């Protein structure tokens, strides 16, 4: 779901030419591919799922932005362990939440601010996306006249493919893994109230970091991700190693240099993960989107049906 401390490192070491806050108005007329699962989780955690979803989709319509929503498919085997771990963490949070409620009930304890905060934190950790949530989201997307696709695997690689191949201008996500795919433009930190986002221009970021994108991916992978979490290195240290490697100015791969100079060995599984992130343009199963999206017919905006759907959630229309 993310790369620890990468965002802080980029914000500290890049100028506002590479990473800039922009209004949604600047995205008018542009096609933006969206890793939608991240936002479904956010809306569920906030406890106002349908209200947030309606406002979220409404922003695309109002600012004349063409979104393409990508839903996660079946996760690859490399991610099964971390998914199992997250499921266990949710179960533990549920047990802690129930135990705290029982304690309050038994002791007739008033819910003070600290207890309320603890309950809120545990509740957020318990949240799971259900099939009904996905179905409702897809239905609302269709009623807005927007397009969505179900990925065969992870949504983020499909999102990156769309941007890398010019099918979309940028990807809207809060997943830092998008940079591992070399996605040219990444949009993060959407504020629906302020109606602004933060735009990351990957080419400009690489220029300011003085490194090619493939080296950047090699460096960042060493800090760990959803597919690799063993023998990781801190973000600050791994970049220090890289710049020392460049100063040595020798004809040697960075990983080989790490092995010879820092006694850091890279196993075969790590190389496979690197290839997974850097070879998505060659994946045949992703080529289907090239023609599929071109053939999409323009869909109509169905406000009357949207209202019918929202009435179930207690919306009032005057």
Q: Which pLDDT does position 203 carry in this prediction? A: 97
CB 57 within 8 A of CB 139: no
H or E stretch including 295? none
Question: Does residue 112 sit within a domain?
Answer: no
Structural tokens at position 171: 């990807």
Measured in whole angstroms, the distance separating CA 274 from the mean position of its chain's CA atoms is 18
CB atoms within 10 A of CB 278: 16
Token digits of residue 163: 């941007």
Backbone dihedral region for residue 229 (phi beyond 0: left; psi -120 to 50: alpha; all else: beta): alpha
Number of separate domains in the chain:
1
Q: Round to whole Å and give the CA distance between 113 and 268.
A: 50
Residue 228, classed as helix, strand or coil, is strand
Boundaries of domain holding 188: 6-79+128-291
Q: Which residues of the chain form beta strands (DSSP E)?
A: 19-23, 31-35, 66-71, 147-150, 170-172, 185-191, 196-201
Identify the pLDDT of residue 134.
95
Half-sphere CA count of 317, side-chain side, radius 13 A: 11
Amino acid 111: pLDDT: 59
Count of Cβ atoms closer than 10 Å to residue 198 Cβ: 18
Q: Please give the C-alpha separations between residue 97 and each of 73, 105, 123, in angstroms, as whole numbers.
A: 30, 12, 7
The SS3 assignment for 141 reads: helix
- Residue 193's nearest CA partner among 42, 9, 43, 56 is 56
Q: What is the CATH number of the domain that holds 250?
A: 3.40.50.1010
pLDDT in tens, the chain (318 residues): 568 899 999 999 999 999 999 999 999 999 999 999 999 999 998 888 999 999 999 999 999 999 999 999 887 666 656 666 667 777 776 776 667 776 666 655 555 667 777 777 777 776 778 999 999 999 999 999 999 999 998 899 999 999 999 999 999 999 999 999 999 999 999 999 999 999 999 999 999 999 999 999 999 999 987 777 666 889 999 999 999 999 987 888 898 899 899 888 887 778 888 888 888 887 878 888 887 666 667 788 999 999 999 998 888 887
What's the confidence (pLDDT) of residue 50?
Answer: 94
Q: Let me know: does 160 contact 154? Beta carbons within 8 Å.
A: no
| DSSP three-state, residue 317 | coil
Measured distance CA(79)–CA(73) in Å, rounded: 12
User: Which pLDDT score is estimated for 272?
Assistant: 84
pLDDT of residue 173: 96
Q: Is residue 84 a part of any domain in this protein? A: no
């Amino acid at each position: 779901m993310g790369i620890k401390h990468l965002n802080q490192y980029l914000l500290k070491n890049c100028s506002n030419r590479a990473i800039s806050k922009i209004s949604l108005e600047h995205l008018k007329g542009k096609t933006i591919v969206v890793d939608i699962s991240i936002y479904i989780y956010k809306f569920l955690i906030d406890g106002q799922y349908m209200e947030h979803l309606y406002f979220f989709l409404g922003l695309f319509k109002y600012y004349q932005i063409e979104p393409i929503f990508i839903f996660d498919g079946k996760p690859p085997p490399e991610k099964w362990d971390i998914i199992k771990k997250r499921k266990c963490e949710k179960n533990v949070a549920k047990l802690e939440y129930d135990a705290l409620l029982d304690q309050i009930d038994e002791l007739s304890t008033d819910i003070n601010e600290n207890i309320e905060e603890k309950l809120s934190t545990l509740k957020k950790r318990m949240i799971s996306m259900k099939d009904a949530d996905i179905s409702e989201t897809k239905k609302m997307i269709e009623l807005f006249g927007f397009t969505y696709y179900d990925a065969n695997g992870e949504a983020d690689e499909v999102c990156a493919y769309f941007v890398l191949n010019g099918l979309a201008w940028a990807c809207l996500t809060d997943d830092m893994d998008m940079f591992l795919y070399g996605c040219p433009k990444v949009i993060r930190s959407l504020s629906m109230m302020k109606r602004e986002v933060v735009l990351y221009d990957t080419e400009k970021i690489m220029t300011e970091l003085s490194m090619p994108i493939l080296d950047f991916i090699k460096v960042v992978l060493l800090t760990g991700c959803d597919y690799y979490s063993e023998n990781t290195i801190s973000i600050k240290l791994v970049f220090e190693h890289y710049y020392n490697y460049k100063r040595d100015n020798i004809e040697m791969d960075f990983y080989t240099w790490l092995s010879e100079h820092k006694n850091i060995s890279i196993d075969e599984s790590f190389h496979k993960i690197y290839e997974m992130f850097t070879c998505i343009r060659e994946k045949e199963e992703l080529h289907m989107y090239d023609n599929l999206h071109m053939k999409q017919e323009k869909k109509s905006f169905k406000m009357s049906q949207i209202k019918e759907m929202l009435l179930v959630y207690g919306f009032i229309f005057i």
